[in-house]
Amino acid sequence: EPEVTQTPSHQVTQMGQEVILRCVPISNHLYFYWYRQILGQKVEFLVSFYNNEISEKSEIFDDQFSVERPDGSNFTLKIRSTKLEDSAMYFCASSEAGLTEAFFGQGTRLTVV
Amino acid sequence: AQKVTQAQTEISVVEKEDVTLDCVYETRDTTYYLFWYKQPPSGELVFLIRRNSFDEQNEISGRYSWNFQKSTSSFNFTITASQVVDSAVYFCALSEGTSGTYKYIFGTGTRLKVLA
């Protein structure tokens, strides 16, 4: 069964460092998303991406964040200069169409020390 | 504004009991979609169901059933004869159909503990 794959599963980084979280969405899906979940809290929307551009971003998604689809399969989230408060589980998701259900990857746990 | 409320923070039941997880939503759109996701201890988010605002028919899938009532803006989830493997955090989510962005607004989740 097709699934969304995220790497790495866990990343530890020092404050101020850049990190890139990687995702391989389901192959025939056209809409891509990043969400994050701070430990024990709810899942929050970061950004949606369609047709090679950002379609919406939340207030969390500031200038330190960027997304890219560098080739036909990968979808990446970059955090330029990590802060302690960026520590969270980051989920990538994809959907076939805008209003169909999104399938989530297993998440990348980012720990900023 | 969009909002999803899951007032039950944590529920504990004994195996084989039925349990209902509540979800109340707010939206100004007439076209919207509601979802339930399960987050087991391993952390992934598992899709359970999607319902659009024009379809109020209740749905049953095995031990799971969903009750959608537009009049009370609720989309409740019932697990019949609960099992230990049902222990997880369950999230209700809302997506507005006319916004063009399709982002999900999640509730705060309900942690279900099923005791053997």
Residues A104, B35: C-beta atoms closer than 8 Å: no
What proportion of chain A, given as a percentage, has pLDDT over 70? 100
What proportion of chain B, given as a percentage, has pLDDT over 90? 76
Structure tokens given for B62 = 């095995």
Mind listing the pLDDT tens digit for each residue in B11-22?
999 999 999 999
Residue B96 makes CB contacts below 8 A (sequence gap 6+) with B2, B27, B29, B31, B32, B33
Q: Are A45 and A67 in contact (CB under 8 A)?
A: no
Is the preceding peptide bond at B40 cis, omega within 30 degrees of 0? Answer: no
Residue A72 makes CB contacts below 8 A (sequence gap 6+) with none
Q: In the predicted model, what is the mean pLDDT of residues A78-87?
A: 97
Strands (E), A1-113: 5-7, 10-13, 19-24, 31-37, 43-50, 53-57, 65-68, 75-79, 88-95, 103-104, 108-112
Alpha helices in A1-113 (DSSP H): none
pLDDT at B98 over 70: no
Q: Which residue of B has its CA nearest to A95?
A: B102
Predicted local confidence at residue B71, as pLDDT: 93
Q: What integer best gives the mean pLDDT of chain A?
A: 94
Question: What is the distance in angstroms between the Cα of B45 and the nearest Cα belonging to chain A?
Answer: 6
Residues B104, A45: C-beta atoms closer than 8 Å: yes
Chain B CB contacts of A55 under 8 Å are 100-102
pLDDT at A1 over 90: no
Q: In the predicted model, what is the mean pLDDT of residues A72-90?
A: 95
Q: Which residue of A has its CA nearest to B42?
A: A106
CA dist., res. B72 & res. B15, Å (int): 30
Chain A CB contacts of B109 under 8 Å are 42
Mind listing the pLDDT tens digit for each residue in B40-59?
999 999 999 999 898 888 88
Q: What integer best gives the mean pLDDT of chain B?
A: 93
pLDDT at A65 over 80: yes
Predicted local confidence at residue B100, as pLDDT: 64
Alpha-carbon separation of residue B108 from A21, A29, A41 (angstroms): 24, 27, 7
